[in-house]
Structure 1
Amino acid sequence: MRKNRTRLTGIVAGFAALGIAAAGCAADPAETRDNDSTVFRFAAAGDPKSLDPSLASDGETFRVTRQVFETLLDHERGGSTIVGGLAETWSTSEDGTQWSFTLREGVKFHNGEDLTAEVVCLNYDRWFNWSGNYQSAAMSAYWQDTFGGFAENESKDAPEPNYVGCSASDDLNLTIEVKNPSSRLPGGFTLASMAIHSPESIKTYDEQAPEGDDAAALTYPEYSQTVGAAHGTGPYMYKEWDKANHTVTVERFDDYWGEKAKIKTVVFKTIPKENDRKQELLSGGIDGYDLVAPQDIAELEKAGVQVPTRDPFNLLYLGFNQTMDGKDTPLADKKVREAIAHAINKDKIISQVYPAGTTPAKEFMPPTLSGWSDEVTEYEYNVDTAKEMLADAGAEDLTLDFCYPTDVTRPYMPSPESIFENMKADLQEIGITVEDKPLTWAPDFLDTTAEGGCSLYILGWTGDYNEAYNFLGTWFAANDPAWGFNDKDIRDKLAEADAEPDPEARLPLYIEANNLIMDFIPGVPIAHSSPSIAFAEHINPPTTSPLTQEDFAEASFK
Structure 2
Amino acid sequence: MVHSRTAQRRWTAAIGLTGAAALALSACAQSERGDESGAGKQGGTFTFGAAGAPKLFDPLFATDGETFRVARQMFDGLTTFKPGTAEPAPSLAESWESTPDGLTWTFKLRQGVKFHDGTAFDAQAVCANFDRWYNLKGAAQSDAVSQYYVDNFGGFSDGAKPSLYKSCSAKDANTAEVVLTSSTSKFPDILGLPSFSMQSPAALKQYDADNVQAQGDSFVFPAYANEHPTGTGPFKFGKYDKANGTVELVRNDDYWGEKTKLDKLVFRIIPDETARKQALQSGDIDGFDFPNAADWESLKSAGFNVQVRPAFNILYFGINQKNNPALRDLKVRQALAHAINREQLVKSQLPEGAEVATQFIPKTVGGFADDVTKYPYDLNKAKQLLAEANASNLTLKFYWPSEVTRPYMPNPKDIYGAIAADLQQAGITIETVTKPWNGGYLTDVDQGIPDVFLLGWTGDTGSADNWIGTFFGNPENRFNTGAATWGNDLAAQLKTADAEPDRTKRYGLYEDLNRKIMSEYLPAIPVSHSPPALVVKNNVKGIVPSPLTDEKFGPVSIG
Task: Tell me if both proteins adopt one fold, taking TM over 0.5 as the criterion.
Answer: yes
Match of 2:158 among 152, 166, 172: 152
Amino acid at match of 1:534: V
What is residue 500 of structure 2 aligned with on the other side? 500
Tell me the equivalent position of 1:288: 287
Structure 1 position 452, deviation (Å): 1.0
Cα distance, 1:340 vs structure 2: 0.8
CA pair 216-431 structure 1, distance change in 2 beyond 3 A = closer
Q: Which amino acid aligns with 1:53?
A: P
Q: What amino acid is aligned across from residue 181 of structure 2 in structure 1?
A: K
Contact 1:72-1:87 at 8 Å conserved across structures: yes
Deviations along 1:280-326, one digit per CA (max 9) or x if unpaired, are 101111000001111111111111011010001110000111112xx
Aligned to 2:252: 253
Partner of 2:91: 85
8 Å CA contact retained: 1:360, 1:528:
yes
Find the aligned partners of 1:179 and 1:84 in 2 and give their Cα distance.
24
Letter of the 2:50 partner, please give it.
A
Q: Which amino acid aligns with 1:293?
A: N
Q: 1:205 & 1:217 partners in 2: Cα distance? A: 21
For 1:431-451, what per-residue CA distance to the aligned partner results, in whole angstroms no more than 9, with x for missing partners? Answer: 101110101111411111111
* Residues 255/19 of structure 1: CA separation in 2 closer, same or farther (3 Å cut): closer
CA displacement, residues 324-354 of structure 1 (integer Å, 9 cap, x when unaligned): 2xxx531111111111100111122112221
SS in 2 for 1:139: coil
The aligned counterpart of 1:525 is 526
CA contact (8 A) 1:43 1:290 kept: yes
- C-alpha distance in 1 between matches for 2:148 and 2:59: 10
- Closer/same/farther in 2, CA of residues 504 and 268 from structure 1, 3 Å limit: same
1:485 partnered with 2:507: no
Which string of whole-angstrom CA distances, capped at 9 and with x for unpartnered residues, describes residues 391-438 of structure 1? 222212111000111000011111111110000000011110111010
| Cα distance in 2, alignment partners of residues 373 and 255 from structure 1 | 47
Alignment: residue pair count:
542
Distance 2:475 2:393 in 1: 29
Which residue does 2:163 correspond to in 1? 161
Distance 1:146 1:293 in 2: 33
Partner residue in 2 for 1:209: 211
- CA–CA separation in structure 1 for the residues paired with 2:440 and 2:91: 37
2:515 maps to which residue?
515
Quote the residue 1:75 is aligned against: 81
Distance in 1 separating the partners of 2:285 and 2:237: 20
Partner residue, 1:534: 535
CA pair 452-506 structure 1, distance change in 2 beyond 3 A: same
Displacement after TM superposition at 1:215 (Å): 9.9
Aligned-partner Cα distance in 2 for 1:11–1:82: 24
Letter in 2 for 1:41: T
Cα offset for 1:180? 1.3
Q: Secondary structure at 2:417's aligned position in 1?
A: helix
Q: Determine if contact 1:403/1:456 at 8 Å carries over to the other structure.
A: yes
8 Å contact from structure 1 (residues 11, 407) kept in 2: no
Q: In the alignment, which residue of structure 2 is the partner of 1:65?
A: 71
Contact kept? 1:378, 1:518, Cα under 8 Å: yes
Cα offset for 1:91? 0.7
Match for residue 435 of structure 1? 431
- Assess if the C-alpha contact under 8 Å between 1:357 and 1:529 holds in 2: yes
Query: 1:158-197 maps to which residues of 2 (within 5 A)?
Result: 159-197=161-199
Contact 1:41 1:286 in 2 (8 A): yes
Match of 1:123?
129
Aligned equivalents of 1:304, 1:176: Cα separation in 2: 49
Paired residue secondary structure (2:48): strand
SS at match of 1:323: coil
Q: Which residue of 1 aligns with 2:374?
A: 378
Query: What's the counterpart of residue 272 of structure 1?
Result: 271
What displacement does 1:216 show? 8.2
How much does 1:10 deviate? 4.9
The answer as to 2:393 corresponding to 1:397 is yes
Deviation at 1:60, TM superposition (A): 1.0
Q: Note closer, same or farther for the CA distance 1:21–1:130 as it changes in structure 2 (3 Å cut).
A: closer
**Displacement of 1:547:** 0.3
CA drift of 1:222 comes to: 2.1
- Contact preservation (8 Å) 2:41, 2:557: yes
Question: Aligned partners of 2:75, 2:320: CA distance in 1, in Å?
Answer: 38
Instruction: Select between 537-546 and 283-292 the one with higher mean Cα deviation.
Output: 537-546
* 1:555 matches 2:519: no
**1:13 to 1:44, Cα distance in 2 relative to 1, 3 A:** closer
Partner residue of 1:301? 300
Structure 2 partner of 1:451? 447
Give the CA deviation at 1:492: 2.6
Contact 2:117-2:203 within 8 A present in 1 as well: no
Q: Specify whether residues 215 and 412 from structure 1 end up closer, same or farther in structure 2 by C-alpha distance, changes over 3 A only.
A: same
Normalised to the residue count of structure 1, the TM-score between the two structures is 0.93
Bigger shift: 177-186 or 433-442? Answer: 177-186
C-alpha change, 1:515 and 1:489, in structure 2 (3 Å) is farther
CA deviation digits over 1:202-245, x for unaligned, max 9?
A: 2124377146x76985212222112xx32111111111111112
Q: Look up the SS of the partner of 1:88 in the other structure.
A: strand
> Where does the alignment leave 5 or more consecutive residues of structure 1 unmatched?
none
- 1:18 match: 21
- Counterpart of 1:337 in structure 2 is 333
479-488 or 444-453: bigger deviation: 479-488
Q: CA deviation at 1:540?
A: 1.3
CA distance in 1, matches of 2:210, 2:374: 53
Paired with 2:290 and 2:278, the residues of 1 have a C-alpha distance of 14
> Cα deviation per residue 1:121-141 (whole Å; 9 max; x = unaligned)?
011101111101210111111
Q: Is the 8 A contact 1:371 1:511 kept in 2?
A: yes
Say whether the 8 Å CA contact 1:20–1:276 is kept in structure 2: no
Task: State the AA in 1 paired with 2:59.
Answer: P
Instruction: Decide whether aligned partners of structure 1 residues 492 and 2 sit closer, same or farther in structure 2, where only a CA change above 3 A counts.
Output: farther
CA distance in 1, matches of 2:212, 2:304: 46
Identity in percent: 40
2:50 is matched with which residue: 44, 62, 74? 44
Q: Deviations 1:76-132 (Å, cap 9, x if unpaired)?
A: 011111111100000111111111100011111112111110011011101111101
Partner of 2:416: 420
Q: Structure 1 residues 510, 146: closer, same or farther in 2, change over 3 A?
A: same
The one-letter code matched in structure 2 to 1:267 is V
For 1:109, the equivalent position in structure 2 comes to 115
Tell me, in whole angstroms, the C-alpha distance in 1 between the residues paired with 2:331 and 2:440: 30
Q: What is the alpha-carbon root mean square deviation over aligned residues?
A: 2.3
Corresponding letter in the other structure for 2:494: L
Which deviates more, 486-495 or 277-286? 486-495
Shift of 1:18: 2.0
Does residue 1:221 correspond to 2:222, yes or no? yes
Aligned equivalents of 2:209 and 2:237: distance in 1? 20
SS of the residue 1:18 aligns to: coil
Aligned partner of residue 338 in structure 1, secondary structure = helix
Contact 1:2 1:141 in 2 (8 A): no
The CA distance in 1 between the partners of 2:136 and 2:22, in whole Å, is 41
Structure 1's 382 and 46: CA in aligned 2 closer, same or farther, altered over 3 A?
A: same
Q: How has the CA–CA distance of structure 1 residues 441 and 284 changed in structure 2, closer, same or farther, with 3 Å as cutoff?
A: same
- State the AA in 2 paired with 1:380: P
Pair 1:132 & 2:138 matched = yes
Letter in 2 for 1:479: P
Matched AA of 2:154: G
